[in-house]
Every structure is written in C-alpha cells, then in structure tokens.
Amino acid sequence: MNASAEKFTCQTLLTVTPLTSSLFSLRTTRDPGFRFRAGQFARLGVTKADGSTVWRAYSMVSSPHDEFLEFFSIVVPGGEFTSELSRLSVGDTLMVERQAFGFLTLDRFVDGRDLWLLATGTGIAPFLSILQDFEVWECFERIILVYSVREQKELAYQDLIAELGQREYLAEHAHKLTYIPIVTRETIEGALRGRITTLIENGELEQAAGVELSPEHSRVMLCGNPQMIDDTRQLLKARELQLSLTRRPGQVAVENYW
C-alpha cells in the first residue's frame, strides 16, 4: 500500500436518495477502523474521468454507532466535486479518509442547560448525528433544533427528526426536543418565516422555543452558510455568548469547513 492509499479507504455506495432536484443523501459502507464523534466530518474523494481525485468535507448524518456512513449533499451547478458525486450509482466506490475531523462536538461545552442547534441547508447533517447519539440527551434539559431552508421541499430528514422520540433508547428523553423549521421564501403552516438572524433579533425564535438565549443557560451550535454563521455569531456576541475555544470554554461552537 502506498503512502497516499494509507490515508483513505475505499467504501461502497449502498444507496443514493434524491430529495429534490439539487439535494440528495448517500450511504456507504463503513470501515471498521473509522471512528468519529457525533458532529464531526469526513473528507470524501471521487475520481474524475481524467484520473485525478477531488476531495471535499462532509459531516456524517449517521451516528457513531451505525455500521454505515451517511452524508447529505447539494449539487453545485458546475461544481467539480458534487457533479462527480451526483453521477455515482449504488455499487460504485467512494474514498473516505481514515481520520474524522471537526470540533462541532459536545465536548466544546463544559456545562449548559439548553442546547441550540442552528442549521441552514445541508448544515443539518451534523446535528442529525448528534441527535442520534444518546450523550446529548443526557447532557441537556432542553434541545432546540432550528432548521432553515428556502422552500418547504428542501426540509430534509423530516421522518428521521419525527421518529427520534420513538426510539426505545430516547423515549424517556423525547420531551426535551423542540423542533423549529424555518422556510424563508414561503409561508408554511407550522414553520417560521425569515432569516435566523432576523428571528433572533425580533424575538420570534425564542418565543417559538419557549426559552431565551442566555450566556448562563444556552449553548449554541451553528452549521450552514458562512454568512449565517458570521451574522449569528455577532448577534450572540452582543448577548455575551462567546465562541468556545480550547483555552477558553464558551457558549458557541461553529463548523467552518465550507
């Protein structure tokens, strides 16, 4: 095995599920030696027609305990990686680096009562992994999942979110979860409308959650488009919620692989 091959394994594509014309999920086999914490991401590689390899980072949707790996992707028009990825079929091979990465994990926080998970688009992926891991349900009294998309059809994994409380190992904790979908370009019953930042500023998000964002009790994870992350971080900073660093534990954790 050459040096580069030692860094990754070749996994088989088990399913490819289109969700919309531009969103799809895919599931692969999992190397027995691949370990990750809920919320982390893997680097995936695809081989182009010219023989070169393109790598991109994708958060795991699957839990650390699943025997497979699942990822959630958007097709970027003309995108070097997703164009190749979207052409793959069941049985094809996908390269997965042996090491998982990322700091969007529960150990970013040393305490806290309420966990806020704020996602836009495919940024929901790491939070689905976290919610399938028992640890989060033990650590927090309240978990608020906020999922913002442009159109209702882009709200993915609704069945998974709905059935979390039906799982035997989570049944007694199901009351802790509040799910708040947001659709920015349509008015949908049961969903808020507006940008996450706007809904924080005008108080609608906290009203829907039934709990306030506070430095004392709130711990916030952000994953999604960079503008949302930057703008939300500034709003939270104004409320004295600080980024959690290794040398200085805080109240906010972000993922920055976009």
149 lies in the same domain as 90 = no
21 lies in the same domain as 115 = no
| pLDDT interval class at 137 (50, 70, 90) | very high
Q: Which CATH number characterizes residue 169's domain?
A: 3.40.50.80
Q: Hey, is 71 helix, strand or coil?
A: strand
34 lies in the same domain as 157 = no
Q: What share of the chain is helix, strand, coil (3-state, %, to 5)?
A: 30, 30, 40
Does 159 have pLDDT greater than 50? yes
pLDDT digit string (tens) for 160-196?
999 998 888 888 999 999 999 999 999 999 999 999 9
Does 215 have pLDDT greater than 90? yes
72 lies in the same domain as 142 = no
115 lies in the same domain as 91 = no
Top pLDDT among 86 and 131 is at 131
pLDDT digit string (tens) for 31-88?
999 999 999 999 999 988 898 999 999 999 999 999 999 999 998 888 889 888 888 8
> What is the predicted pLDDT for the residue at 5?
62
> What is the predicted pLDDT for the residue at 192?
98
What is the pLDDT of the chain when averaged over all its residues? Answer: 94
183 lies in the same domain as 86 = no
Q: Do residues 114 and 218 lie in contact, with contact meaning Cβ atoms separated by under 8 Å?
A: yes
What distance in Å separates the CA atoms of residue 115 and residue 66, rounded to the nearest whole number? 23
| pLDDT interval class at 257 (50, 70, 90) | low
135 lies in the same domain as 235 = yes
| pLDDT interval class at 13 (50, 70, 90) | very high
Our count of domains for the chain comes to 2
Q: Give the β-pairing of 177-183 and 142-149.
A: parallel
Average pLDDT over residues 206-227: 97
| pLDDT interval class at 216 (50, 70, 90) | very high
Q: Which CATH number characterizes residue 75's domain?
A: 2.40.30.10
Q: pTM for the full model? A: 0.95
53 lies in the same domain as 138 = no
Instruction: State which residues form the domain around 240.
Output: 106-254
What distance in Å separates the CA atoms of residue 70 and residue 26, rounded to the nearest whole number? 6
Domain end marker among 77, 97, 117: 97
